[in-house]
C-alpha cells in the first residue's frame, strides 16, 4: 500500500515552476500554504491509486503546508467515500477525520473535493444536525461545507436541508459562501422551480448579488431581470 511520504515525494517529483505560476490566477500568494506546481489532473490521478490510505496517512497529508498535498488528501477522501464498495467503517473514519481536521481544509477547492461525498454522503441516512452546526461556524470553510454537503441530498431529490441552510446563510457576506449558496439553490431549482422562485423573491432584496445571480442562472432573461429588480 502507498504511504503518505511516498505520495508527497511523488507530487514533489512532478512539480514545475510553470504550473506553480498558473495557480497565482486563482489563489493569492500565501507563504503558509505554498503551491508545489502540480496540475490538479495529476493530483486526482494519484488519488485514485491511494483510495485505501489509512486515516493516519490522510492526516499526515492534511498537515502538510503545500496546497496540492492537502488537495490530494481531500481527493482521496472524496473518491473513497463515493466508491460503492467502501465499507461503513471507512465512511465513518473519513467523516470524522474531515470534521476533526477542518482547520486544514481551509480553501474553497479543498471543501469542494470532499464535502459532498464525505460529509453529505455520510449524513444521507442520519441526523442532519451537524450541518446546522457547521452553518453557524465563524470559520467560512465550515459554512461552505454545510452547503456543498447538501448536493448529496439533492442528488436524491431531497430539498429541505438545502433550503434550511439557505435560510441561515442567505445574507452571508463571505464570497466563497455566497458562491456555494448560489450553486446549491440553482441545483435545487432544477428540481423544483416554483420553490426556488418563492425563496429568491423573499430574499432578493438582501441576498448578496453573487449568490442571487448564480441561483437564477437557469431562468429566462426576463425572469432574471424581474427578480434582480426586487428591492
**Burial group, residue 185, by CB count within 10 angstroms (0-12, 13-18, 19+):** buried
Confidence at 9, pLDDT banded by 50, 70, 90: very high
d(Cα 167, Cα 150) in Å, to the nearest integer? 14
Q: Region 166-172: what's the mean pLDDT?
A: 97
End-to-end CA distance of the chain: give it in Å, rounded: 58
d(Cα 91, Cα 109) in Å, to the nearest integer? 21
Task: Report the pLDDT value the prediction gives residue 162, as an integer from 0 to 100.
Answer: 98
What the chain holds in terms of domains, given with CATH numbers, is: 1-126 (1.20.1660), 127-231 (1.25.10.90)
Confidence at 1, pLDDT banded by 50, 70, 90: low
Q: How many CB atoms lie within 10 A of CB 205?
A: 9
Give all strands (DSSP E) within 101-145, no chain letters.
Answer: none
pLDDT tens readout for residues 185-198 = 999 999 999 999 99
Amino acid at each position: 500500500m502507498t504511504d503518505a511520504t511516498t505520495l508527497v515525494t511523488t507530487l514533489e517529483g512532478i512539480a514545475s515552476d510553470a504550473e506553480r505560476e498558473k495557480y497565482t490566477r486563482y489563489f493569492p500568494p500565501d507563504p503558509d500554504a505554498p503551491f508545489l506546481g502540480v496540475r490538479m489532473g495529476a493530483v486526482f490521478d494519484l488519488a485514485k491509486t491511494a483510495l485505501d490510505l489509512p486515516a493516519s496517512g490522510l492526516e499526515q497529508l492534511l498537515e502538510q503546508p503545500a496546497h496540492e498535498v492537502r488537495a490530494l488528501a481531500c481527493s482521496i477522501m472524496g473518491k473513497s467515500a463515493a466508491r460503492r464498495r467502501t465499507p461503513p467503517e471507512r465512511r465513518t473514519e473519513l467523516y470524522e477525520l474531515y470534521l476533526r481536521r477542518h482547520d486544514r481544509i481551509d480553501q474553497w477547492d479543498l471543501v469542494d473535493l470532499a464535502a459532498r461525498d464525505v460529509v453529505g454522503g455520510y449524513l444521507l441516512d442520519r441526523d442532519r444536525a451537524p450541518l446546522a452546526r457547521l452553518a453557524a461556524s465563524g470559520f467560512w470553510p465550515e459554512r461552505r461545507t454545510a452547503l456543498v454537503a447538501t448536493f448529496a441530498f439533492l442528488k436524491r431529490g431531497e430539498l429541505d436541508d438545502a433550503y434550511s441552510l439557505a435560510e441561515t446563510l442567505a445574507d452571508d457576506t463571505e464570497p466563497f459562501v455566497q458562491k456555494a449558496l448560489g450553486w446549491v439553490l440553482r441545483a435545487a431549482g432544477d428540481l423544483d422551480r416554483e420553490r426556488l422562485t418563492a425563496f429568491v423573491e423573499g430574499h432578493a432584496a438582501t441576498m448578496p448579488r453573487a449568490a442571487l445571480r448564480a441561483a437564477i442562472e437557469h431562468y429566462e432573461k426576463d425572469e432574471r431581470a424581474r427578480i434582480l429588480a426586487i428591492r
